[in-house]
A and B are shown apart, each in its own frame.
Chain A
């Protein structure tokens, strides 16, 4: 089985992203499953960041802490990350020589042969490609594609730089690098969570995206703004997150599918707007890309610390949808579902991701676009005589029109209102309006999909997790089972309303979450009455991986 992890580390601004991304693309081009993630500091220059690439012949899509191959662009990063290299791993270095070291002076080569240090990164990718035993042709294809917009000279110089790095490393590798990644015919998609969400939103018919920049959510509006001409989507950078959520609500009231995105701090500013969407029964989709908090926290790192906050976001009682997709493919389909359900139940939907899912590149074998259905729930105005936007009925779902659609007037109020949408102090009516809104919650609950079960029938111990940690949890189940432990997993991606689900009795449940207090565990106790035997938490800003989970599980 092929499963190789590579770490490229360096200071911000040195180009480890370029190296890591090019290497990931090259492995993908060669027909392998690739998973890559980054951990970086909140700065534009300096510091110490790393880009991790895991290459395998089977789908993994989860991070690993230890590396088989390590390369660093500066001394400080080398000192910090070198301990992550396995004892039998290979170091690729500019200066150092040794038994397990491949020496390629990429900066010097770039300067000497290509007259510019900028080519050092390409020389380095060439070297890593050789160490991995990938054919040079795959890298050449990626370079030609990625640099295409920069002109023929740049392309050809980069091709030569890559070839030079490849040649030197190949020579040094002889008898020392054990890997050969022969070109395979398979071709997979390599895509990040943010990109998949942006595409999914567009597929769902989102025509209005407004946001205030906040890491790690910014990539979504950036993507949509870049592609607005072909996707026909209106994008706008709001003056603040309060404006963003209210603009999205305004656009939705006017009949367009609309969304916004932020991280915890910006989402906190949107909370009053969420309540407004609940009261005016306006469909709204918000992406909450989590990062470690409280307050500004660790802006560029990952955490799942906002689950209970999201579920409870908004003053007052009204139905709300909260999803936390596992990976980009799930994110793509989930956001379409979020738009459909927000539309059907006329209420806000929150998609929770985190820095890990937003920024990481996952391999997707097949997007299954044929399974995607986008369905609008606006009614036909011609069939209505006396239009009441908030008509009381059995389902609580009133007919939704948009203003200017017909002669019917569409009136919405943030105050308690009558069936026409006019402000009221009729307390009997108030009661009925509360009940109307909550009826939708009951129906919505029936729509929620139960959690995914993995090897639970014979398992004595079951991990319970949610959102982006799915693949790490499934992997630790595989690893533990290979070692004879009877474990399984239950993974939630639809979190509010909590789906109807029976937890198998007589099992030991362990919650696995990227937070300190076990927020899913609290929900399981309060809503399912499930007693959690133990909690495995990670809150150092790094993503959960199978080694981390296994270590905590086995050593308590």
Chain B
């Protein structure tokens, strides 16, 4: 059995004391332990921002790459080694802003990875500029007169492009978030969890603003109903739902299916070099 201590990292934590990111970190560790996964079986991929520092605080394999470029790295890792549990930890700036194009197209690819977006609706590490999810009119430390752009609707984008696992979590509800992550990580296909994570240093809303509005989707909510899911994904105001907004467990085409079914089903690292006679034979066709 895997214990939570296995995931303890010695790296010094650079987050602000009291940051809800700690809640996401704890929930993720707990989810991995509940799934019985050892640190060497897990690979976290992140970019730049406060959320992207997560891999340093959770002991496992990781690739902390460039701003916005998490998904391409993660998708490729998953192709090469499908056995690794590949999880992207990113923020609203990293994923929806700088990496927006990769967000769109990897929903379409449907790789078997999990995407966790710490969504605090603000740029934290660069000190309080608007992010793609900052609400219109909100005043920030760069948009002094208020944001003039409409906020992005990432959950709706995911739903409309065929993402078969779309969820929203809250960093302040450990148990709920941990269960959500267990579901997401064990889901076969691209599983996407947007986690509300109030920023206590630069956020345009207070923690209580979120806490008052957040509610759990009720038992009778049917996450297989896409139309209902689209409505829930847009619910943001007086009330904000959390939970699995949409899931479709029907088998879907996964990224790399052709390769796995017809060419090679395993880790690409096992392949080595092709036999030289194959190359010789192919060159011979040019004679």
Contacts and interface: CB of A to CB of B under 8 A. Distances in A.
8 contacts: A199-B279, A207-B80, A239-B102, A248-B76, A250-B74, A273-B66, A403-B84, A409-B62
Contacts of B14: 423
A433 interface: no
Nearest to B75: A247
Contacts of B56: 413, 422-423
A116 interface: no
A272 B72 CA distance: 14
A395 interface: no
Interface range for B: 35 or more
A369 B63 CA distance: 36
B286 A403 contact: no
Contact of A404 (B40, B62, B272, B287): B40
Interface string A442-467: 00000000000000000000000000
A276 interface: yes
Interface string B140-175: 000000000000000000000000000000000000
A407 B66 CA distance: 26
Interface stretch (B202-210, B244-252, B257-265): B257-265
A227 B274 CA distance: 13
Contact of A253 (B77, B267, B273): B77
Contacts, number: 187
Nearest to A409: B61
A232 B282 CA distance: 13
A256 interface: yes
A207 B14 CA distance: 38
Q: Which 8 residue pairs spanning A and B have beta carbons closest together?
A: A250-B76, A250-B73, A403-B61, A254-B80, A246-B72, A205-B273, A239-B105, A255-B269
Interface in B73-111: 73-77, 79-81, 83-84, 101-102, 104-105
Contacts of B274: 202-203, 205, 231-232
B65 A246 contact: yes
B40 A210 contact: no
B93 to A, nearest CB: 16
A412 interface: yes
Given A189-B283, A254-B81, A423-B11, A406 B76 contact: no
B4 interface: no
A208 B66 contact: no
B2 interface: no
A202 B279 contact: yes
B55 to A, nearest CB: 7
Given A248-B76, A410-B61, A229 B282 contact: no
A189 B286 contact: yes
Interface of B: 11, 14, 38-41, 43, 45, 48, 53, 55-56, 59-66, 69, 71-77, 79-81, 83-84, 101-102, 104-105, 256, 259, 262-264, 267-269, 271-274, 276, 278-280, 282-283, 286-287
A327 B71 CA distance: 36
A555 B76 CA distance: 55
A404 B48 CA distance: 24
A266 B81 CA distance: 27
Contacts of A190: 286-287
Contact of B263 (A204, A228, A405): A228
Interface in A191-214: 191, 195, 199, 202-205, 207-208, 210
Contacts of B268: 207-208, 234, 251, 254-256
Nearest to A198: B282
Contacts of B39: 409
Contacts of B280: 369
Interface string A49-82: 0000000000000000000000000000000000
Residue in B60, B71, B80, B267 with the greatest tally of chain A CB atoms within 10 Å: B80
Interface in A226-253: 227-232, 234, 236, 238-240, 242-244, 246-251, 253
A374 interface: yes
A255 B59 CA distance: 20
B11 A203 contact: no
A221 to B, nearest CB: 14
A369 B71 CA distance: 38
A244 B11 CA distance: 31
Contacts of A256: 80, 268-269, 271
A195 B283 CA distance: 9
B104 A239 contact: yes
A243 B271 CA distance: 24
Given A191-B286, A207-B268, A231-B274, A250 B63 contact: yes
A404 B78 CA distance: 11
B282 A251 contact: no
A242 B71 CA distance: 11
B66 A404 contact: no
Contact of A203 (B48, B79, B256, B276): B276
B76 A258 contact: yes
B61 A411 contact: yes
Most buried by B among A191, A202, A404: A404
A234 B269 CA distance: 12
Contacts of B263: 228-229, 232, 234
A415 interface: yes
Nearest to B85: A404
A367 interface: yes
Contacts of B79: 208, 234, 236, 251, 254
A210 B273 contact: no
A369 B65 contact: no
Contact of B64 (A188, A255, A412): A412
Contacts of A280: 63, 65
Contacts of A238: 72
B60 A243 contact: no
A86 interface: no
Contacts of A369: 276, 279-280, 283
A254 B60 CA distance: 14
A234 B266 CA distance: 12
A189 B73 contact: no
A40 interface: no
A202 B59 CA distance: 35
A124 B143 CA distance: 68
Nearest to A272: B66
B256 A234 contact: yes
A362 to B, nearest CB: 10
Given A250-B74, A411-B62, A232 B84 contact: no
A232 B264 contact: yes
A414 interface: yes
Pick from B69, B101, B104, B271 the residue with the most CB of A within 10 Å.
B69
Nearest to B264: A232
A414 B66 contact: yes
Contacts of B84: 254, 403-404
Nearest to A403: B61
A240 B105 CA distance: 10
Contacts of A258: 76
Contact of B63 (A210, A236, A253): A253
A240 to B, nearest CB: 6
Interface string A76-97: 0000000000000000000000
